[in-house]
Amino acid sequence: MRKTAKFLTTASAVLVLLGTAALTPTVAMAVDTGLAAEGMKIAEDRKKGNCFTCHDYTGAHLAGNIGPPLTGVSKRKSRKEIYDQIWDSTKANPDTTMPPFGKHEVLSEKEVNAITEWVLTL
């Protein structure tokens, strides 16, 4: 009898967890695919974003590992957080090795927006 009760308790807990997971809404951010395609070009331009030097992401050729992987960033950070990180990474972490692309005018606001859109697609 004891094994049956333990099994039923475990089974009930699993069903509750699965039911809760099924009800959890997944929010996908709408992405401008044209702008994202432009962002990918800028991100992979060695004279502009050059993102793959430090970051790994799907499709990166000889990607670096200094920075965190970019795949799945949109599940961890908002559009604004991604934009702010690219614009001036020193605000969140003064000791970062990531250049503040917008603050130092390496990239324009439009280019940072484009890269942000691209990162949201990864």
The CATH fold of domain 28-120: Cytochrome Bc1 Complex; Chain D, domain 2 (1.10.760)
Tokens 């004891």 belong to which residue?
Answer: 2
pLDDT digits (tens, 9 = 90+) for 24-34: 444 456 889 99
Please write the tens of the pLDDT for every residue from 79-103. 999 999 999 999 999 999 999 999 9
Cα(102)–Cα(51) distance, integer angstroms: 14
Taking alpha carbons only, the member of 111, 116, 109 closest to residue 31 is: 116
**Are the CB atoms for 87 and 79 separated by under 8 Å?**
no
pTM of the model: 0.73
